[in-house]
């Protein structure tokens, strides 16, 4: 219709000009005006998107430059633990072959609740993880090996106003959530913080000594926080918090993330919130597949690398509820990752959570704030059946909208 309108208008203009008498106009001198060159819109947008997709890369580069003795990169540029390869359910014969080839067993974990055995192998002296991985796959073509990838939190936080000045979040829409259990895989949580001290928090990782982090405490507050002037998405829900960083340079390694999933399975935590992003990995995929197969719900932030970024995991795995955000005017945020793996986009008001040891709040990126809100809606007292999972998802739109005065979009596939 629009094209026809333009054509029709053009025909009328041509007809009118044909009927006008030819009038000779005197020449008019027009002073030259220099118009400043404007940057091409596509170039400006492209630069912005490249900056977004490069933000996580810059963080990775900073970590690598500070900890070159512990960290390295795989061929795609993702961070890995230097000179380490993860073997999944390695057979005795394959292990003997690896040791004969000068690989050394560093650590072994039996994750009974995931039905998986993890063996971390150190490569022979002078051999990179990439070369070691190729060597092991050649020695044992039937085995499953991968890098010990590093997963970064889905967004950096910054300090804002004190918690006493934070606006109160709306009351939960679906009544009492006491007794509901929600899992969190992130950094350590300061359980004694004002917003969390009244709740029940179980912690895992770091040999029983979790290291409180700004990011972990912030996300925990968004999920289960409650104070005089602050309320999380599911105030006083029973929180199972796994610290996969422990303040270490190699924090966020896939072996730690898998162990955290194993703990969630052992504790029968129905809904697990994951605010970590990174590359595809065989061990991570195995852990996620087992939990989903048993009916657990995994809610994961898709990341803030921008729409041009490749899919990030675990959010991009089939069955995981990948979450991002829109603003109050129903516009997809510029920093939000896009893709078919995205299940939900919602607006959640900025209700600042609290970082540890500061008495202040932390500002998280909007896509990250959406993940705890989604976890709150899915939270339940027991693991749902597989048939119940889609029904849980069908509740997301009205429940989140009622809870947070939110605008919510659900992907067609969900």
Residues 302-323: what's their mean pLDDT? 80
**What was the pLDDT predicted at 61?**
92
- Is 261 inside any structural domain? yes
CATH number at residue 265: 3.40.50.200
Domain match, 91 and 178 both: no
Identify the domain containing residue 85 by its residue range. 67-149
Question: Could you tell me the pLDDT band of residue 302, with boundaries at 50, 70 and 90?
Answer: confident
For residues 248 and 301, state if they share a domain. yes
Let me know whether 145 and 162 are in one domain: no
Q: Which residues pair with 121 in a beta bridge?
A: 85, 105
Does residue 52 carry a pLDDT above 80?
Answer: no
Asked if residue 47 belongs to a domain, the reply is no
What band does 340 get if pLDDT is binned at 50, 70 and 90? low
* Residue 263, in any domain of the structure: yes
Residue 301, pLDDT score: 84
> What integer pLDDT is reported at residue 233 of this predicted model?
81
Q: Are residues 145 and 161 in the same domain?
A: no
Q: Write out pLDDT tens, residues 209-242.
A: 989 999 999 999 988 988 887 788 888 899 999 9
What CATH number is given to the structural domain containing 136?
Answer: 3.30.70
232 contacts 372 by C-beta, under 8 angstroms: yes
Q: What is the pLDDT of residues 317-336, one digit of tens each?
A: 999 988 876 666 666 665 55
Domain boundary among 149, 179, 208: 149
Q: Are 226 and 215 in contact (CB under 8 A)?
A: no
Q: Which of 149, 180, 200 is the last residue of a domain?
A: 149
Angle between helices 282-293 and 254-266 (to 10 degrees): 10
211/138 same-domain check: no
Asked if the structure places residue 350 within a domain, the reply is: yes
CA atoms of 55 and 155, how far apart (whole Å): 10
Are 100 and 215 members of one domain? Answer: no
Q: Is residue 287 part of a domain?
A: yes
Are the CB atoms for 245 and 213 separated by under 8 Å?
yes
pLDDT for the residue numbered 178: 57
Alpha-carbon gap, residue 378 to 300, rounded angstroms: 12
Same domain, 81 and 216: no
Query: What does the pLDDT average to over 8-29?
Result: 41
* Total structural domains within the chain: 2
Same domain? For 195 and 344 the reply is yes
Instruction: Say whether both 244 and 125 belong to one domain.
Output: no
Query: How high does pLDDT run on average in the chain?
Result: 74
Please state whether the predicted TM-score (pTM) of the whole model is above 0.85: no
Q: Which is it for strands 238-243 and 201-204: parallel, antiparallel or unpaired?
A: parallel
Last residue of a domain, one of 84, 116, 149: 149
């Amino acid at each position: 219709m629009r094209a026809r309108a333009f054509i029709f208008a053009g025909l009328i203009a041509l007809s009118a000009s044909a009927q006008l008498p030819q009038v000779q106009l005197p020449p008019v001198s027009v002073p030259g005006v220099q118009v400043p060159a404007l940057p091409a819109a596509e170039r400006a947008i492209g630069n912005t998107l490249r900056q977004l997709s490069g933000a996580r890369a810059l963080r990775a580069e900073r970590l690598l430059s500070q900890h070159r003795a512990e960290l390295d990169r795989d061929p795609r540029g993702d961070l890995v633990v230097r000179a380490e390869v993860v073997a999944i359910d390695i057979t005795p014969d394959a292990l003997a072959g690896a040791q004969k080839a000068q690989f050394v067993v560093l650590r072994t974990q039996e994750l009974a609740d995931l039905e998986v055995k993890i063996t971390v192998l150190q490569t022979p002296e002078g051999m990179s993880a990439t070369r070691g991985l190729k060597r092991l796959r050649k020695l044992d073509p039937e085995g499953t090996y991968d890098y010990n990838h590093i997963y970064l939190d889905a967004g950096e936080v910054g300090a804002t106003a004190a918690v006493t000045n934070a606006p109160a979040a709306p009351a939960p829409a679906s009544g009492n959530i006491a007794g509901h259990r929600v899992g969190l895989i992130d950094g350590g949580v300061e359980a004694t913080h004002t917003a969390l001290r009244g709740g029940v928090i179980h912690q895992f990782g770091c040999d029983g000594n979790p290291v409180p982090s700004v990011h972990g405490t912030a996300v925990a507050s968004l999920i289960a926080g409650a104070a005089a002037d602050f309320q999380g998405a599911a105030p006083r829900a029973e929180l199972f918090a796994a610290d996969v960083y422990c303040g270490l340079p190699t924090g966020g390694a896939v072996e730690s993330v898998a162990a955290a999933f194993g703990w969630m399975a052992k504790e029968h935590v129905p809904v697990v919130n994951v605010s970590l992003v990174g590359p595809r990995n065989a061990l991570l995929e195995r852990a996620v597949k087992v939990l989903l197969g048993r009916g657990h719900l995994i809610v994961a932030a898709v990341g803030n690398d921008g729409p041009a970024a490749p899919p990030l995991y675990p959010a991009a795995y089939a069955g995981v509820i990948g979450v991002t955000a829109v603003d109050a005017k129903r516009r997809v945020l510029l920093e939000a990752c896009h893709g078919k793996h995205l299940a939900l986009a919602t607006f959640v008001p900025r209700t600042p959570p609290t970082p540890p040891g500061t008495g202040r709040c932390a500002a998280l990126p909007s896509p990250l704030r959406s993940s705890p809100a989604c976890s709150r809606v899915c939270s339940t007292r027991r693991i749902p059946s597989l048939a119940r999972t889609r029904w849980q998802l069908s509740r997301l739109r009205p429940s989140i909208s009622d809870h947070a005065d939110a605008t919510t979009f659900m992907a067609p596939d969900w």
